[in-house]
Amino acid sequence: MRILHTMIRVGDLERSIAFYTEVLGMKLLRRQDYPDGRFTLAFVGFGPESEHAALELTHNWDTPAYDLGNGFGHVAVEVADARAACDEIRRRGGVVTREAGPMKHGTTVIAFVQDPDGYKIELIQRGT
C-alpha cells in the first residue's frame, strides 16, 4: 500500500494551481472538469503519480471559500535547505508564516508557508 493523494478544497482553482506550481515548484499532473457535478479536480505534485503522492485540489464551482476548521494540520514537503526555500517562496510571491529554524523541542529545521486558501505547508529540511 502507499498514499496516492491528499485532497483539499480550494476557492479559486487557478490561484491555487499557480501557487502550487509557480511558488512551490510542483507540476500540474492532470485536471478534469465534471460539469454535471459542478466541480473540477486538479492534481499537482513533484513527480508522476505512479511514483509520488499527489495533492488533489477540488474546486466546487459554486463555493468561493471554505472554513478551514481546526482539524486539519498541514502538508509536509521535504526541502534541501529550508532558509533558501523560504527565500525562493517569498521571491515568488508566497507567504512565509514561520521562518526556517529548529523546531521548538528538537533539532529538525522546519518552516511554514501558507497557500492562498490558508492551508499550511511545512517545509522540513532534509537531514536535520
Q: What is the mean pLDDT of each run of 10 residues along the chain (128 residues)?
A: 91 97 97 97 97 96 90 92 98 97 94 96 93
CATH class of residue range 5-60: alpha beta
* Alpha carbon distance 40, 96 (integer Å): 28
Taking the model in full, what pTM does it have? 0.87
**Domain 75-125 is found in CATH 3.10.180.10:** yes
Which regions of the chain carry the CATH code 3.10.180.10?
5-60, 75-125
Q: In what order do the strands lie in the sheet with 5-9?
A: 5-9, 54-60, 39-45, 27-34
* Alpha carbon distance 19, 75 (integer Å): 14
Q: Which long-range contacts (CB under 8 A, 24 or more apart) does 95-99 make?
A: none
Write down the catalytic residue from 14, 22, 51, 122: 122
14 among known catalytic residues? no
